[in-house]
Structure 1
């Protein structure tokens, strides 16, 4: 059941010993527009930013889950991207994930939110904090504004499949043609190209990108291909690694649940269950606890609605 965005009950949850259960019951069941309205109403009524109040009242993984969820999706992507640039490492795939799994318009909104919040462009921060082949790929990916329709040029798909195969066979993984195709073509066109690659050369492109399992740029390229063509498979793997490793990777778990709950989490859950023979909610319940666990399970459950 949906409630009015400016629930009075929410007001009483802050300031006198925080009522975490009430925060979860209200925020976890509101869509992005309603959460935004709650923030506006709170600011107008109390003269304070709800996110700053939550930041003071909550702590640890629960705080992060609530804050990421409450942010507008474009603001959230800007926040995650900025956090990543400041602590960037060659094994961190968050920038690529945002660039390749959002729609062209969503990525544009994230870039605009980045401008507004950090007073500089996402592109300049990515260029400043990355180096070498990583910079060559990540800057055009975050700068991209792809065609979003279903129109596909099959002649072009065959030509570009051959270009990709030739460059990869020559181990020219960061060649400008490889980067041009992956960073500018529509997702429909890339799918057609990679389907032709598979048909023409007898195997998936990612098999050819596994030449050196320890090469982190090749890992980024493989993840880029997966995010552009099969994002739910990519996110299932992120969740599997986050939950199954010794000591849960709460950062990755929180990021996937909060960013995909209103997008495709149901499909990701089905894939997780199929791949691991355990429902995602049960896996999360086993690896987390307290208010953090309750918040995640509410968000995972809402994708069934």
Structure 2
């Protein structure tokens, strides 16, 4: 369900590295050339280009890009060019820093990646930051947020389709009881959300809906101003229908007074090779405007061109 457009005949990594090197030379950088190459290569192809570039020119491609580019365009190109696990490790680390801290980004990465992807993020985190993602999340969060986020980022869920209906029934009741008691930070509630497979959770929440006549997120809206409850609802959304959650992130990023470029860049670069098609369909359904038109109306220059290329816009 990705929308990244990769040409059927891809030049060799050597040719791509050479073209990129050319783009950095002479008067000013050739941004269009950079977009035409990097925005149309898969993760595996980008990795080979990086390796070839380092071997040929004795410099890290990311460092070269960092020197040549600036602002939102630079951030988009750098995030996109990174290995997906390293990118998520970097974004997670940023989300634990004082000035860029975000429980939402941590939750989004923990809930929308596959078990194996999340495991690789934790490995990449070790390698790059010489500590674990769990310890940083635990250190930089407190209270209920810590209680939820640490098991979320440590999770290694079963990925298959097997579902135990009796279990779904009993755990739907546990969730209902805890929510009725307003025990939103209860260990059992957190255990179910942070350990069960996505298929099992879907079955549990369907049962919850049918049995108790309300969607669980509706029951968790008792206090709309409560940030922990907001995060809890978002966690459930991310685990069960990520495209709905990610559409909302994009909608809010674009419709803000002044675009939230960080959120826009993060969603486009991390989902272009995953489920961007679904996100685009959801965006169109929800806003009656195609996502590419919304992005084009809200961004400009090379930043706009890069984003449009990544979401598979024909002319980009």
TM-score by length of 1: 0.97
Kindly report the root-mean-square deviation, in angstroms, between the aligned alpha carbons of the 2 structures: 1.5
Shift of 1:87: 3.2
SS at match of 2:311: helix
Q: 1:52 to 1:283 in 2, by over 3 A?
A: same
Q: Determine the structure 2 residue equivalent to 1:167.
A: 178
Shift of 1:14: 1.4
With CA pairs under 8 Å and 6+ residues apart, which has the higher RCO, 1 or 2?
A: 2
Residue 4 in structure 1 maps to residue 12 in structure 2: yes
Unpaired stretches in structure 1, ≥5 consecutive residues? none
Q: Determine the structure 1 residue equivalent to 2:29.
A: 18
- Assess if the C-alpha contact under 8 Å between 1:90 and 1:216 holds in 2: no
Task: Specify which of 272, 276, 288 is matched with residue 299 of structure 2.
Answer: 288
- Assess if the C-alpha contact under 8 Å between 2:171 and 2:204 holds in 1: yes
Unpaired stretches in structure 2, ≥5 consecutive residues? 1-6
Shift of 1:13: 0.8
Residue 231 in structure 1 maps to residue 275 in structure 2: no
| Cα distance in structure 2, aligned partners of 1:214 and 1:3 | 52
Q: Determine the structure 2 residue equivalent to 1:219.
A: 230
| Cα distance in structure 2, aligned partners of 1:5 and 1:163 | 54
Residue 278 in structure 1 maps to residue 275 in structure 2: no
SS at match of 2:24: coil
Shift of 1:223: 0.4
- Assess if the C-alpha contact under 8 Å between 1:261 and 1:303 holds in 2: no
- Assess if the C-alpha contact under 8 Å between 1:261 and 1:302 holds in 2: no
Aligned length: 304
| Cα distance in structure 2, aligned partners of 1:4 and 1:188 | 40
Task: Specify which of 119, 135, 148 is matched with residue 108 of structure 1.
Answer: 119
| 1:236-251 correspondence to structure 2 within 5 Å | 236-251=247-262
* CA offset digits 1:273-303 (Å, max 9, x no partner): 1110100000000000000000000001169
TM-score by length of 2: 0.94
